[in-house]
Each structure stands twice: as C-alpha cells, then as structure tokens.
Structure 1
C-alpha cells in the first residue's frame, strides 16, 4: 500500500499515476491537438482531486495549475462550439478546486482571482459566487461578499450554506457597529467613574478601531469546518459525501 493513501483510494491513485506516467512522454504542448490538450488537462485534474482527498493541498494545486496551463487564453480563444464546451468543462472545475484549496490555506486574494475567472465565463456559476463570497468576507470586503452571496442565493435558493454565510455577515456588521458605538461613547460620553486614558492608549484604541472587527469566521472558530453537501466538497465532479470521485 502506498504510504499516506487509504486503501479505498489506492486503485484511483494508481490509475491517475498511470495517467501521469503517460504524460512523461507526451508531445510538446504546441504539437498537441485540441483533444489531446483537453485530455491531458483532465488527467491532471483527476490526479489533483486524489491529492485533495488526501489533504495534500499544495500537491493538488500543482496539478490544477498544470491542467489550467494546457488551456491558456489564446488556446481558449481559438475554440468554438463543442470543443470550447469540452475545454470549459475541464478548466472550470480546476479553477474552482484551486479556489477551495486557497481558501483552506487562507490565501483569500488568490481564491478571489480563480473564482472571478470562472465568472467571466459563466456569471451564474453558484460555486464560484459562493467561494468568492467566502474569500471576500475573510478579507473584510463585506459589501462585495454580500453581493456574491445574494447572487448565489438567486440561483440556488435552497442552499443552507448560503443563508448561513449571509447570517454571519449580518452578525459581523452588528458587532462592528457596537464596537464603533462603544468606542465613541468612551471618548465623548461623560463618565466620572472612568479613568483618564493616556494619549498613547488613545492612539492604540483608534488604531484598533480603524482596523475593523477581528471576528473569527466560521472555519476559524472550530477545529473542523462546518460541512454542506454542495459547497464544502471541492466540486460536484470531484468528491461526494461517500468519498466517490468521477
């Protein structure tokens, strides 16, 4: 048995390892046909999915990056019809999977970029909207995050994960407003029982206020994240709750 790979994933890992072995002798990128590029990218994506399932995020991202590299901007612009649809079907999950890895690694700015790439192709992609909203919320971009969550709810109104994130944003804003209120009350409100604060302390308080609320978001509050069937898995074509991949 391969070290670090569960028995139930061994056959899948071996098949994807075989795919990588085949790619070692593959022809140069510019000499590939459209179908060969798409196939090579899909093989990389599948290997990345296995790495992700085994919590090897950096290794997974490396495979997704390589898959995306097979389908650069010029290549995509040259496609149309069925070929373009085939390429998008492989490229989109790679960007979404990258975003999930980056969120787990708290690299939120990069996650936003990958989600935005998907949304330029399909502005109704619920997973891209949802994951970009999560990343933006972590960056303190509350208004932009809310906009993403509301758009994702429009296309997936029954998703409880979206409602939870919207509720979390409301609580975050309430806490910020209360902190703002308490801060100004402490400065301007007469209170003979309160001690005078030094200018240094005043500066520290102002700096803390300017930084905004330091609330822990959902996955920072617990040792393990809350899971939702549709959104906490890396992608619908990647892993189901019973650990099956396609």
Structure 2
C-alpha cells in the first residue's frame, strides 16, 4: 500500500513537471480577463478597453468565488478597510462602477466614472423587470455583498443577475444571455439607511453634502487621506447633474459653492495617493465650476508634471500664477522653477550625447564616464589618411561618432578595418 502510494506520488510529480507550462497558461488565461486587447496580459494585470484613459490596472488577487451566487467571481484591484464589515441587505451603498459586455464586442453598458457621480444603491431593493436602466442592480448587490468599503474589484456576473435571457433593446442595448464584466469601487456604506437621494429634498441633500465634506476635512487633517477621499466622493454623490440643472439663483450658487471645494479636496487627496490621472480629472471638473480657479490649475499642473506631460503642466501652472490673488505665489513659482530646471538638465544631457556628430570641426565625443575625448583620425598603423580620402574620412568619422554613441564603435570599426587591405 505504501509503495503504491509513493509510486502514485512520483508519477503525479512527473506529470506535474511535464505539464507545468500548459497548466500555467490555463491559469494565466483564467486569472486575467481580457477586453479590447488581443495580447496576453501580464500576470496580475487587467487591461482596460482602448477608449479608457487609465491604462492597465493591477489585480492583487487570483480570481475567486464570492461565496454568494455560484456564477459570480472576483479579483481584487485595491484592498479595502479590513476594519469595516461588508454591506447587508437594506444598507445604502455609494459605488463607482464600469460595466461591459463580456463578449467579443466588449461594449460598455454603464459607467459612473465618466460623469464623476458615484451611484447610490439600496442593497436588496427589488427592481421592476420593466426598468431597463436598473436591471443590472442585482449584479451590483451581489458585488458589494462581497466587498468592504474602500475596496475596488473586478467581477464577472452571469446574465440572470443583469439583463437575462432576453437582453435589453436599448438604453442600454444588451444582447440575449450576456455575461457582464464589472469594475466596482465601494466608496462607502450607510447601515440600515434606505432613503435614496432621488427622494430627498434640496435641503436634505445639501445637509448631507456638508456633513460628508466636513468629515473628509477632519480625516485629511488627521492623515487618513484614503478615507477622506471616500467622504468627498460621497459628498459629490448628492450633487448630481440632474439636480444641478434644476437649480437657479441662490440655490445654484450654494450648490456650486459646495461642489467646487469637494472636487478640489478630492484632487488634493489623489495627488497624495499618486492617482494622478484621477487628480487631473477632478481638477478639470473643478474648472468646470470655476474656470479661473488658481488652485485647480495648480493641482492639475502638478498631476500633469508627475505624468510627464511637461508642456501641459507648464501651461496650467502659468494660468494658476495668472489667476492667483497676489502678485506672486511662492508654491506655484517653485513648481515652475523646478519644471524649468528639469527641462534644462534634460536638454543639456541631449546636447552632450549628440555633440559633434554633425560638426566636422568638432571631433570630441563622450566616453563611458561622460567625459569629453577626441576621436583618433589615424588608422591602426598610425598613418594619416591620404588627401584623396579626406571626404570619405569625414563620412567615416561621422559614422564612427554615431556608432560610438550607440556603443558599437570598437567592435564594428575593428571588424570593418580587418576586412580591407
């Protein structure tokens, strides 16, 4: 019995070794969903569709079952707060999500991130079959039941939790029996709170806006930037475009007076969290409220500089300086000076690399230490080139310089000389 078990184990190990690569490829395909990209993604990386600006997102866990509906699985993209519990039925949740058809077309079904308006859902609330716009809410319920606040995860959801066997004719248009790929961020959850924002009066909404923004300010000052960002997101979730379009006069002024600092504060959080694409987006939304806001230009300039968009960053910083209240602003001027210094150093380095390539009178190059040196004009025998070879010599010197810059000069020139007599 023992010998048989050992033999079986040895055979299993041999089989394991011979099929390791094939199993790895199967696991790789199972672990990394692909959408809008035919190339195999890196381990742990999920690539957004081509029209999305934020590029690939790293998943930090393998795809696992959620423990709820048997067809739903998830990958964690960002860990949430382990101290908080998962939402239950009856809780009000604030979420950002993008939803796509999990098929060859990969068409978008819904996106809250495009409008920068977190969605509010009451977990477990029944959705009428006739409500085509919200028939995917049961899918969101299933997702958030497997999350904690602050978490972002990627889910695959079966048709029965979305648009079913029949699909949906339009707004959104979904084919029959279509699976969904859902990128969900659970911003926050209110325990047992069932009033939706659509049912709130203007005064109730503004009260919530102020409450979340004040709490966000306290968290930011205390150093909990991630939690502060979630509070600012929830603050903005009550200032939806459909409400803003109905306001006028003093009501509109008050609402915009709350919306502007929430976007600016959220931008500041994203800068500290190094989410620079999101910082650019929030600064742009702040400028949509106040096109002359110096803080918005300054923060967008900093984010763009971090992304390597130097010209756009300089334009933003100059606008920030122009719109600043005082004659000068030390923070903006420091940022501009630092940006100019980086550009000067970069230009100097480029000139050093290419110096002398196109000037026949400049035979200096740069050696491995970065120091200047003179290229030799004599051949291996120590002879000067003949007068008739002068023009050709210049050409050879040019290509010699070029090859030296590229690191091939010694091997290539030696080989070339060895083939001629």
* Common topology (TM > 0.5): yes
Distance 1:194-1:160 versus aligned 2 partners, 3 A rule: closer
- The equivalent of 1:40 in structure 2 is 208
Shift of 1:147: 1.2
Is the contact made by 2:264 and 2:282 (CA closer than 8 Å) also made in structure 1? yes
Distance 1:132-1:193 versus aligned 2 partners, 3 A rule: closer
SS of the residue aligned with 1:27? Answer: coil
Once residues 305 and 366 of structure 2 are traced to their aligned partners in structure 1, the CA distance between those partners, rounded to angstroms, is: 38
- The equivalent of 2:303 in structure 1 is 135
- The equivalent of 2:273 in structure 1 is 105
Normalising by the residue count of structure 1, what TM-score does the alignment of the two structures yield?
A: 0.67
Once residues 150 and 134 of structure 1 are traced to their aligned partners in structure 2, the CA distance between those partners, rounded to angstroms, is: 12
- The equivalent of 1:166 in structure 2 is 336
Which sections of structure 2, spanning at least 5 residues, go unmatched? 1-187, 369-399, 408-421
- The equivalent of 1:178 in structure 2 is 348
Distance 1:177-1:23 versus aligned 2 partners, 3 A rule: same
Once residues 88 and 101 of structure 1 are traced to their aligned partners in structure 2, the CA distance between those partners, rounded to angstroms, is: 20
Once residues 26 and 175 of structure 1 are traced to their aligned partners in structure 2, the CA distance between those partners, rounded to angstroms, is: 58
- Which region of structure 1 is more displaced relative to structure 2, 150-159 or 125-134? 150-159
Is the contact made by 1:23 and 1:40 (CA closer than 8 Å) also made in structure 2? no
Is the contact made by 1:98 and 1:114 (CA closer than 8 Å) also made in structure 2? yes
Q: Deviations over 1:25-67 (max 9, x none)?
A: 4732111111111110110011111111111111111111111
Which sections of structure 1, spanning at least 5 residues, go unmatched? 1-19, 204-246
Alignment of 1:1-246 (within 5 A): 25=193, 27-156=195-324, 157-185=327-355, 190-191=363-364, 194=367, 202=406
Instruction: Choose between structure 1 and 2: higher strand proportion.
Output: 2
User: How many equivalent residue pairs?
Assistant: 184
Once residues 345 and 244 of structure 2 are traced to their aligned partners in structure 1, the CA distance between those partners, rounded to angstroms, is: 45
SS of the residue aligned with 1:71? Answer: coil
Once residues 101 and 86 of structure 1 are traced to their aligned partners in structure 2, the CA distance between those partners, rounded to angstroms, is: 23
Instruction: Choose between structure 1 and 2: higher helix proportion.
Output: 1
Once residues 332 and 262 of structure 2 are traced to their aligned partners in structure 1, the CA distance between those partners, rounded to angstroms, is: 22
- The equivalent of 1:226 in structure 2 is none
- Which region of structure 1 is more displaced relative to structure 2, 107-116 or 183-192? 183-192
Once residues 186 and 98 of structure 1 are traced to their aligned partners in structure 2, the CA distance between those partners, rounded to angstroms, is: 50
Shift of 1:166: 1.3
Once residues 302 and 365 of structure 2 are traced to their aligned partners in structure 1, the CA distance between those partners, rounded to angstroms, is: 44
